[in-house]
Amino acid sequence: MKFENYMILEFPSKSANESFARSAVACFAAQMDPTLEELGDIRTAVSEAVTNCIVHAYPDGLGMITLRCRILKGNVLDIVIKDKGVGIENLEQARKPMFTTGGSERSGMGFTIMESFMSSFTVVSTPGKGTSVHMRRKLQRRK
């Protein structure tokens, strides 16, 4: 699929980089003239995906997170967030609301939030090799 613009970032799975990733995507998406609501939804979905990498993919240390954004034809923002961490043993179970492996301080709503805020959402994971979250958001054209 052809794209109009893109960016790729790679950063360590430090908690400080969650806000960096969220802000970078928001700045990139700004060229599409999103509404504040659309921008908030995108920021939240990215935040959830990156936080999952930080908390779950690399539980015993730091690893790398790759973030790719593209602007596709039809005013669609395409986002892929990948890690090379521990992967997800049971993806079906992990996608259920309220399920978490992150302890009692985690809500288990990350995938549910991402899916509800984006136009499309897929996740692929291989135990021992990592996880890839692919999200798209079609933005309204404003005049």
Residues classed as catalytic:
48, 52, 106
- Collapsing DSSP to helix, strand or coil, 70 comes out as strand
Residue 81 β-bridge partners: 67, 133
Structure tokens at 123: 């996740």
Distant-in-sequence, close-in-space partners of 61: CB < 8 Å, separation ≥ 6: none
| CA–CA distance, 13 with 49 (Å, rounded to integer) | 12
C-alpha span between 118 and 79 (Å, rounded): 10
Q: Quick one: which H or E segment has residue 79?
A: strand 76-83
